[in-house]
Amino acid sequence: MLGPVILAASRSDRMRRLISAAPVTKQVVDRFIPGETVADIVPIIKDLTGKGLELTMDVVGEDITTPEQATAARDAYLALIDHLKELELGEKVEMSVKLSMFGQALEGGHELALANVRPVVEAAAAIGTTVTLDAEDHTTLDSMFAIHEELRKDFPQTGCVIQAYLFRTEADAKRLAEAGSRVRLVKGAYKEPAEVAYQQKHEIDKAYVRILKTLMEGEGYPMVGSHDPRLISIVQELAHKAGRKLDEYEFQMLYGIRGDEHLRLAAEGHRMRVYTAYGTDWYGYFMRRLAEKPANLRFFLRSMVSK
Ligand code: FAD
């Protein structure tokens, strides 16, 4: 019941101002967003990759309102890639980007987002890694898929995300399950209306398995973004049935959620990529993490009253 309320709050400017300025215990935010600057995050990158994990990096931010902010987002990713170059980790550390942070919702936003994200994809390719386009709310997806297709003409390894809760996704998965594609499947984290998305958890889970099967039986590279223990074992069954070796798909989980499971899967020889977010504009990302698990909200509220 609480999830949709928190998700509505995640898009409210008033709540953003209120919560961002609140004396939130740093520890609560740090659980999911373990740093504000590149300097904070480099030791974490070294630590996690040293433990056999791979990473996808998210500089937090979304729904920007001026072209200057979009340029700043591009530059923040370029600065990160500059640091990654020195670490020489190649595809062990890739980037995840939200096109709304690159100007997608502004006037002429489709072209603006493409123009801003292209240099990031180029810079990533130059150090032997790649970029995945995150999926935001359903109104942004036609533009995201068109940008993905455009980028893939020069950088075929550019990935994208599909969301199991949307009715459209089974068709998107069939289209995307082609040789050379990299597709992350997630359940979906936004508040979506019943006209476009399943609302019940069991329906979303069933759709997830159907889409997973399409990706596993297809020719692309599936990236399984979930912490759900039931799905994790279904993934291994489906991969085995489709004759995929351990390096022909990967698991992805969020930093701060089921950390022991990250290490367990990596120790079993799986590719395990941790989605690691950092930066100061953490509000939207943080609120979606609260919405996914109401216990997080209780912990968060307790931290506010105990300040
Ligand atoms: P759930 O059924 O929600 O959770 C399964 C179990 O995982 C829970 O019982 C709990 O133990 C644990 N868990 C899950 N979430 C939390 C949490 N917040 N705090 C503590 N424990 C938790 N969504 C998008 O819409 N677009 C994206 O681009 C996108 N990218 C993602 C990238 C990655 C790598 C991952 C893992 C998720 C991404 N998501 C994205 C979020 C996703 O859509 C889900 O909201 C999120 O993963 C929770 O779903 P679940 O599959 O883990 O299953």
pLDDT at 13 (0 to 100): 78
CA dihedral 124, 259, 63, 293 (to 10 degrees): 160
Query: Which of 74, 118, 182, 184 is an active site residue?
Result: 184
Residues 267 and 263: their CA atoms lie apart, in Å, by 6
Beta-bridge partners for 34? none
Whether residue 203 has pLDDT greater than 60 = yes
List the catalytic residue out of 63, 134, 172, 205: 134
CA distance to 136, 141, 150, 170, 287, per residue, from 146 (Å): 14, 8, 6, 17, 28
Taking only the tens place, the pLDDT of each residue in 226-273 is: 999 999 999 999 999 999 999 999 999 999 999 999 999 999 999 999
Q: What's the pTM value of the predicted model, to 2 decimals?
A: 0.95
Percent of the chain clearing pLDDT 70 (strictly above): 97
| Mean pLDDT of the chain, nearest integer | 93
**Does any ligand 1 atom lie closer than 6 A to the CB of residue 256?**
no
Spell out the domains of the chain, with CATH numbers in brackets.
33-281 (3.20.20.220)
Is the CB of 189 inside a 6 Å radius of any atom of ligand 1?
Answer: yes
Q: Which residue has the higher pLDDT, 280 or 46?
A: 46
Mean pLDDT of 194-198: 98
C-beta 261 within 6 A of ligand 1: no
* pLDDT band of 6, cuts 50, 70, 90: confident
Question: Cα of 126 to ligand 1 centre, how many Å?
Answer: 31
Average pLDDT over residues 121-134: 98
What is the predicted pLDDT for the residue at 190?
Answer: 94
For residue range 77-105, what is the model confidence (pLDDT) as tens digits? 999 999 999 999 999 999 999 999 999 99
Q: State the sign of the Cα–Cα–Cα–Cα dihedral 76, 77, 79, 84.
A: positive
Instruction: Name which residue sits closest to atom 35 of ligand 1, judged by CA.
Output: 225
Residue pair 244/223 in contact by the 8 Å Cβ criterion:
no
- Predicted confidence at residue 15, as pLDDT, reads 78
**pLDDT tens digits, residue range 168-183?**
999 999 999 999 999 9
Question: b/e string for 267-289 if b means 16 or more Cβ within 10 A?
Answer: eeebbbbbbbbbbebbbbbbbbb
Rounded Cα distance between 279 and 77, Å, is: 11
User: Is 184 annotated in the active site?
Assistant: yes
Q: Is any atom of ligand 1 closer than 6 Å to the C-beta of 186?
A: yes
Do 204 and 198 contact (CB within 8 A), yes or no?
yes
The amino acid sitting at 195 is E
The Å distance, Cα 292 to ligand 1 centre, comes to 7
**CA angle 221-122-177, nearest 5°?**
20
182 is catalytic: no
Question: pLDDT-based confidence at 306, cuts 50/70/90?
Answer: low
Considering only CA atoms, which residue is closest to atom 12 of ligand 1? Answer: 227
For 205-238, b/e burial (b = at least 16 CB within 10 A) is bebbeebbebbbebebbbbbbbbeeebbebbbeb
Nearest CA to ligand 1 atom 37: 225
The predicted pLDDT at position 20 comes to: 73
Of 284, 78, 86, which is closest to residue 190 (Cα–Cα)? 284
